[in-house]
Amino acid sequence: MKNKNLFIYKAAYFLSAFVLAIGSSQYVTYLARIGYDSNIRGFMVSIYSITAMILQLLLGQLVDRYQKVKQIFIICVLICSIGTMLFFQLETQSMILHLLLLTAAGGLATANVSLLDTLIFSYDEKITNAYSIIRMFGSIGWAFSCLVVSFIISKFEYAGLGIYCLLSCIILCLVLTMMPSPNAKSEEKVKITWSDTRQLLNKNYIILVSALFFMSCTAATSSTAITDKMLALGASASDVSLRWSLSAFVEIPAFIIGSNLIKRFGHYKLLIFCGLTLVFQYFLYAFSTSIMMILIVTILQMISTPIMTLSSRYLIRDLSPKKLQSTAFMLAVSLYSSVATIIMPSIGGMITYAFDVDITLLSASAFSVIGTIFASILKKISVENKKQTHRN
């Protein structure tokens, strides 16, 4: 792997996360600021998540069919940034317009994260083996972006934040054009049929997606329930941005040693450990009584999110045919991440509206208990398969 190319990959992850965090960290906070209650905010987030799920399914098929993941990613990032800019320019309540813009911006933001990972896994094994380190720069970019967001809001309000997002996107697109195109040797269209896609739906793949789904149900409350909890405790937009920034900074050590952790403990054990960490983390969120306590509990994200990210990416790759790598990844993410993001904001919003945000956080913690059980089942199947292979 050439050092120049590795630098470009790292820069692309840094800038991509930087751009995506500008909107993603503030969508819910901005909706709350202009007067939407938790129930409506949860509904709006769920609607844009439906769009994200559909986009991930379509984009996965397009990438496998046309082998143009970089070009598709650039187009999606541009549309997402323009949508984000327009979203923050609308400073009065207009539910239909906000919903349309949030659907375009937020839906594509979610899909773009998956597309970027798909892009990296489209290169050769030397690059995919360096995914942990490359992905670390995404966390750094997200963390710095959240810090900058606080400054931009304090100086130029949300309207200035939207313009800043678009300018940052232009820089990102320039960097992306310098990246070598993957699969240059295979420019012909690949015919992907429904029969091919059904090959993915084997028992192990379904159990893996189920485990990730329930863990994602827990993580999906991060942008809604935790934000609602902080706002209830008197947090400002800067406090919310600080939590987003801290959550990204604490992930960096795990990504640095991620490859070594995978080699030593394996994907399955790490996924189980991730599930248990999420259970404990959201249980503590529920009983936090100050913003400082929430920030301290957020440090546990140094274990949960990066471990789930790394384990899931490699497990999906290992459990799917090479011909359908992009479809396998985008389908899995649409099923476990997007569906969780669709249902949890609405469910969480209704629970918070009817009872209390702490009940929502305890419910989120319970979902990871189920996810951990599925991960344990998957590990058991893997061990039995290995034993069977040795016998044969």
CATH number of 3-179+198-391: 1.20.1250.20
Q: How confident is the model at residue 205 (pLDDT cuts 50, 70, 90)?
A: confident
The predicted-structure confidence for 119-158, as pLDDT tens digits, reads as follows: 787 777 777 778 888 888 988 888 888 888 888 888 888 8
pLDDT the model gives residue 192: 56
Q: pTM of the full predicted structure?
A: 0.74
Which alpha helices (DSSP H) does the chain contain, by range?
3-24, 27-33, 38-66, 69-89, 95-120, 125-129, 131-178, 194-198, 203-219, 225-232, 237-249, 252-256, 258-286, 291-298, 304-318, 325-333, 339-354, 357-391
Ranges of each domain in the chain = 3-179+198-391
pLDDT the model gives residue 389: 65
**Rounded Cα–Cα distance for residues 281 and 361 (Å):** 10
Question: Can you tell me whether residue 373 is helix, strand or coil?
Answer: helix
| CA within 13 Å, CB half, 276 | 7
Q: Over 50: is that where the pLDDT of 211 sits?
A: yes
pLDDT the model gives residue 3: 60
**Rounded Cα–Cα distance for residues 163 and 81 (Å):** 9
Amino acid identity of residue 337, one-letter, is S
The predicted-structure confidence for 34-60, as pLDDT tens digits, reads as follows: 888 877 887 887 777 778 778 877 887
- State the Rg of the chain over Cα: 20
